[in-house]
Structure 1
């Protein structure tokens, strides 16, 4: 009996069929350096730009200065291109730019943004990274959201070519470090201070987002937020620890108008949020295309032992499991917006482990827009959370402070060559990030 393969071979040849190059057996497999096309997965890095105050406002930690980016910004941006990356999480120094109501110093911002535009890099512009201008004081100031919204509008009007924004980086971490843990800015250690800070930060993000959308109706808002979890190894759980595992969602709950658990709502009311303020947050989501960015470091996961000792668990659950919980809660497209590890010899392995997490998330059908190794160059004093100015190098960058590559840079380039042209979702060429303004606010 003659095989159908014989008939096909006689008519169409032995493989390499005409037409197969258009997504068939001879189509492209997604390898090669990123193209920057609208359906391309967004591989990124970032430039560390934190600027909180410590010592009760007397000392400003400006990592752009401490890591010498102000002087070497052209060199740093050239390294982004040399890596083969098309996307950069980039923070302008808000505290230096916004000099007062309606007053701005754009000198450095204009230079850096012009170079980013010249190189063809797509910035995800970070507008507030852990600190405020001196004239605004700290996150307890109820006027801060209004003035920050003014700043966001000014930035979006000045750089109309920018589409991707993170209005306020890591809202939960900012509020916790500033008003609950007593490390930065107002340095409070109170639940009321924490609730005040978080409601002001979320309100600032929402109103800033509104002003950006006025200038860019097609804006893409990548909310970078920490993915955290505390494992309590006690037979009888401690209410405070269990509450903390619920509060980790608080910033995104308020931002995305998702009603928190009753216990959390009571906590908000007990610590200064009014019913009118709560209803304002629950009125609806901000405009634009909303992307849930989850930052994950091994130190984000903690284990509390029966004796009360706390140890870092280093990805017991990992980015995939924790972020999947966030995804199930908010149903937003996802981006892995920050990761690194403090020991440079562990960098390549950590990178591959994070990538395995992303591949697993994609297999679940979750739209993952991108991945970020944070940051491009080493940082300073992140081993103590910037709490003390020691000048100790945190060797977590793709490059060291002399701008020499670390082993993770070579690993990232290998990853880019292998996966650089994959789409946001598998077989996702049909689905692209369009230039149309956002309009729909429904889940169906």
Structure 2
């Protein structure tokens, strides 16, 4: 008796069967540079753009200026295009644009966004990145949510083609650095100042999100927050570290109207959060389509030794485990919104390790829709969290400050050539981001 393969070969030939290229064994394996199709996994980079005040409000750190992006923005955006990337986390400098209530200077924003649009890049617009205009003061100002909401609405109205936004970058980090660690903006060091800053920032993000949705009911909001953990190597964990490891969720709890841990809630109520404010936060999630962005650097994990000294703990939990904790809490689509390492020698390996984390968590059923190497260019003074203006170069970019590609940039190009046409989820080509306004309010 002949094998069934003999009959198939007689009828259809020896492989490469007509029709099988449509998702069968002969279908596309997901390799090739991203096409810009809405179903593509979002490979991205970002342009470092922090602008906090330091030194008792006497120095404004503006990384866009310090890396010469204002003068070389066309060249920088061209590098994004050159790498084959279709998505860019990009900040409009809030402190420069919003001159006063109802007054704006769109000069640079118009130029940059016109070039982004011309190049066919999808921007994720970051609207507040660690600082505010001088006239708003700092994050202790209770008027921040109202004025920032006005600004967000003005941006969405002026650039109606933009759909992706991060209203406030890293709410938790912004509040902690400004009001608990005392290094930026108000430079305070108290629990009450921290809770005040955090609630104002979270409220600003929510109100800004609402104003964006007025103009783009189908907006996609990428909440970018730092995934952190402190490992305390003592037989009995201290109350301070125990609380700190819970506080990392507070910003997203407020943004997503998630029930707050009892210990954290008592801490907040003891430090200025009112019951009325809590009720306002818990009324419901913000509008639009929400993506939970997790930023992970190896330095986000720390070990405290019994003598109180610290050492790095990169990859003890790693992005996979940390993101799984966040996903199981919030059940939102995930994006890896920031990573890098300060060692240019180690950077290519770090890139691949982060990508392995992404692939592994997707295989385990968690919907990861994007990945970001942050940033396009080398940074300055992030080894000291911008607390002083030394202008020391952190060689963590895909390109150096002379716009020469680094080895990690070459490897990122290799990575997206291999995986660039993966879909947002396996077989995700049957789904797309629709242009239908978001309207469902669901628990699962």
Q: Aligning the two structures, in what range does the TM-score lie when normalised by the shorter sequence? A: over 0.9
Q: How does 1:67-86 map to 2 (within 5 A)?
A: 67-86=67-86
SS at match of 1:344: coil
2:433 equivalent in structure 1? 433
Q: Does 1:92 align with 2:89?
A: no
SS at match of 1:231: strand
2:372 equivalent in structure 1? 372
Contact 1:38 1:434 (8 Å CA) reproduced: no
1:423 equivalent in structure 2? 423
Q: Post-superposition, which runs of at least 4 consecutive aligned residues in structure 1 deviate over 6 A?
A: none
Q: CA deviation at 1:314?
A: 1.4
SS at match of 1:203: helix
SS at match of 2:169: coil
Q: How does 1:286-435 map to 2 (within 5 A)?
A: 286-435=286-435
Distance 1:119 1:212 in 2: 24
1:211 equivalent in structure 2? 211
SS at match of 1:27: coil
Distance 2:235 2:22 in 1: 58
Q: Does 1:443 align with 2:430?
A: no
Q: CA deviation at 1:443?
A: 2.9
1:58 equivalent in structure 2? 58
2:195 equivalent in structure 1? 195
Q: Does 1:277 align with 2:277?
A: yes
SS at match of 2:286: coil
SS at match of 1:45: strand
Q: CA deviation at 1:440?
A: 1.3
Contact 1:296 1:338 (8 Å CA) reproduced: yes
Distance 1:280 1:39 in 2: 35
1:46 equivalent in structure 2? 46
2:127 equivalent in structure 1? 127
Q: CA deviation at 1:18?
A: 1.3
SS at match of 1:345: coil
Aligned length in residues: 444
Contact 1:217 1:438 (8 Å CA) reproduced: yes
SS at match of 2:345: helix
Q: Does 1:14 align with 2:14?
A: yes
2:106 equivalent in structure 1? 106
* Deviations 1:151-184 (CA, angstroms, capped at 9, x unpaired): 0000000000000000000000000000000000
Distance 1:268 1:259 in 2: 13
Contact 1:152 1:167 (8 Å CA) reproduced: yes
Q: CA deviation at 1:2?
A: 2.6
* Deviations 1:239-262 (CA, angstroms, capped at 9, x unpaired): 110100000000000000001110
* Deviations 1:177-201 (CA, angstroms, capped at 9, x unpaired): 0000000000000000000000000
1:173 equivalent in structure 2? 173
Distance 2:136 2:398 in 1: 34
Distance 1:81 1:123 in 2: 12
* Deviations 1:284-337 (CA, angstroms, capped at 9, x unpaired): 000000000000000000011111111111121111100110000000000000
* Deviations 1:381-416 (CA, angstroms, capped at 9, x unpaired): 111000000010111100000000111000000001
CA RMSD of aligned residues (A): 0.7
Contact 1:225 1:294 (8 Å CA) reproduced: yes
2:27 equivalent in structure 1? 27
